[in-house]
């Protein structure tokens, strides 16, 4: 007796049982990401000294601090069954708006509010267009990407330096955590402070808030329901359109926050910043175990995906002779592996039911 799998698979039409992979399947994918990250860190520690030192591990967060908010916002969108290709451009737009307003003499707090409102407003517009006119998210967010990138270049065609004291304090600020003692081959002991930055704490605060909202609120449960099956969510009386709009508002807010963190980190606003970051965010979310078809995923998994990408780039930083192309090859292989894993877990689930 043979078992027939549903033709929809991971990308088929909506149905009441679509994309249900079960709790075990979801934990399998996140667990695979954890194991993979641990293996990569272990191999790196064997190849390069201090690869897994306390400061090096914290630097994984610091060097990918813009990507964390993008991945968080993308997690909401993909779980709901959508996609957002505009986040990299919105990140650049946020940095350009911040730099331009600061140069015009605006106070830092007002600039931060305007940037976050701008990103959220663009997300609201995109979400409304997708929900109201039933346009494919790929097309709508692609248009938003060109719109945001074009606005960047209309405002300025070059990088704008930021000399605001508050932004510079966040750029140069260090938060000491503990002291690390190392001994070299000659027996000399060196004591160094292990630190992080305010931007990392801001990004991790966003992760905590997103985790609580997505996993412990009615809205979060609705996002999962809409991503699993819009028709079933509608029959249950859930507000499908409002939820779809809300996830794009969240994504726009997170992208604008990433633009602010970019401004803190570089002390500038750059109209060409974030090119390709939308693909990195999608890759991190997929590696973190979120189904591209929606209905399943974890915020923490997406953060693990960001750290996995950061570890791949760290190999290049520790080994100057490593061809940059190999980092892209590794990312492509990982994304393909996790997509196949998602299909395998979903197939096992359907076979049991």
Residue-wise pLDDT tens digits, 312-334: 988 888 887 777 788 888 888 88
What is the DSSP-derived secondary structure letter of residue 173? -
Q: What is the pLDDT of residues 17-62, one digit of tens each?
A: 444 445 545 567 788 889 999 999 999 889 888 888 888 888 899 8
Measured CA to CA in angstroms, residue 228 lies from 130, 326, 348 at distances of 18, 35, 17
- The answer to whether 118 touches 269, Cβ cutoff 8 Å, is no
| Residue positions counted in the chain | 353
Q: What is the pLDDT of residues 106-118, one digit of tens each?
A: 999 999 999 999 9
Output phi, psi for 66, to 5 deg.
-75, -35
- CA-nearest of 348, 345, 331, 344 to 286 is 331
Beta bridge partners of 183: 189
What mean pLDDT is predicted for residues 56-70?
91
Output phi, psi for 274, to 5 deg.
75, 10
Q: Which helix (H) or strand (E) holds 191?
A: strand 189-196
Range 333-337 contact pairs with CB under 8 angstroms and sequence separation of 24 or more: 334/36, 334/283, 334/287, 334/308, 335/283, 335/286, 335/287
- The answer to whether 247 touches 82, Cβ cutoff 8 Å, is yes
Q: What is the pLDDT of residues 138-150, one digit of tens each?
A: 999 999 999 999 9
- CA-nearest of 250, 225, 227 to 237 is 225
What mean pLDDT is predicted for residues 85-100?
96
Output phi, psi for 64, to 5 deg.
-120, 25
Name the residue with tokens 């069954």.
81
State yes or no: pLDDT of 12 exceeds 60: no
pTM of the model: 0.87
> What burial class does residue 45 get, using C-beta atoms within 10 Å of its C-beta: 0-12 exposed, 13-18 middle, 19+ buried?
middle
Distance of alpha carbon 48 from alpha carbon 140, whole angstroms:
44
Q: Which helix (H) or strand (E) holds 179?
A: strand 175-183
Residue ranges covered by each domain of the chain: 22-352
Architecture of domain 22-352: Orthogonal Bundle (1.10)
Name the residue with tokens 């100057």.
320
């Amino acid at each position: 007796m043979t078992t027939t799998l549903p033709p929809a698979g991971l990308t088929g039409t909506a149905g009441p049982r679509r994309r249900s992979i079960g709790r075990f399947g979801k934990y399998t994918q996140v667990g695979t990401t954890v194991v993979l990250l641990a293996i990569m860190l272990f191999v790196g520690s064997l190849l390069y000294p201090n690869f897994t030192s306390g400061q090096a591990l914290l630097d994984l967060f610091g060097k990918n601090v813009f990507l964390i908010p993008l991945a968080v916002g993308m997690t909401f969108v993909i779980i709901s069954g959508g996609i957002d290709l505009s986040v990299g451009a919105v990140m650049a737009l946020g940095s350009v708006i911040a730099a331009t307003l600061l140069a015009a003499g605006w106070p830092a707090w007002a600039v931060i509010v305007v940037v976050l409102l701008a990103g959220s407003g663009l997300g609201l517009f995109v979400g409304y267009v997708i929900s109201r006119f039933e346009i494919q998210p790929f097309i709508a967010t692609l248009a938003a990407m060109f719109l945001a990138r074009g606005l960047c270049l209309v405002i300025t065609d070059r990088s704008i330096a930021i000399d605001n004291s508050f932004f510079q304090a966040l750029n140069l600020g260090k938060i000491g955590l503990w002291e690390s003692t190392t001994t070299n081959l000659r027996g000399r002991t060196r004591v160094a402070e292990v630190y992080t930055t305010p931007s990392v704490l801001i990004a991790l605060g966003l992760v905590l808030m997103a985790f609580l909202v997505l996993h412990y609120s009615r809205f979060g449960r609705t996002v999962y329901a809409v991503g699993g099956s819009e028709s079933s969510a509608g029959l249950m009386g859930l507000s499908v359109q409002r939820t779809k709009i809300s996830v794009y508002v969240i994504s726009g807010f997170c992208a604008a926050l990433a633009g602010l963190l970019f401004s803190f980190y570089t002390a500038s606003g750059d109209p060409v910043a974030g090119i390709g970051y939308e693909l990195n965010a999608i890759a991190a979310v997929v590696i973190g175990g979120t189904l591209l078809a929606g209905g399943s995923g974890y915020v923490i998994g997406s953060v693990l995906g960001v750290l996995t990408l950061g570890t791949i780039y760290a190999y290049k930083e520790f080994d100057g002779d490593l061809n940059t192309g190999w980092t892209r090859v590794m990312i492509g292989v990982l994304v393909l592996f996790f997509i196949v894993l998602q299909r395998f877990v979903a197939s096992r689930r359907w076979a049991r039911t």
